[in-house]
Amino acid sequence: MKETVERYGNTKNMSKLINEKLGKAEGLGGRTDSDEIKSRLKILRDSAGSWKIDESGKEYVKEIRRGWGKRLKRADL
């Protein structure tokens, strides 16, 4: 996710970054072992969706903001 934010400014373009990396991996030809590429692609497919958030962006932001108030009270700010 860090690379996605650095390159595109947000995590919404994660699929774009993944597609770029897959394209590069597929274009390696004889330079990389094909079993290694297949293994990496399997790991990628198996992990797809594991970063999903069950709540909407609006709900997520509200939850984060609720936490700010609690932290400010603890810090006496």
Q: What is the pLDDT of residues 12-64, one digit of tens each?
A: 777 888 888 887 776 654 455 788 888 888 888 888 776 666 777 888 888 88
Residue linked to tokens 């999903």 = 52
Average pLDDT, the chain: 77
Domain boundaries, the chain: 2-74
Backbone dihedral angles phi then psi of residue 27, each to the nearest 5 degrees? -85, 0
* pTM score, whole prediction: 0.29
Structure tokens at 22: 């897959």
Encoded amino acid at 35, one letter? D
C-alpha 77/C-alpha 61 separation (Å) is: 21
Q: Is the pLDDT of residue 1 over 80?
A: no
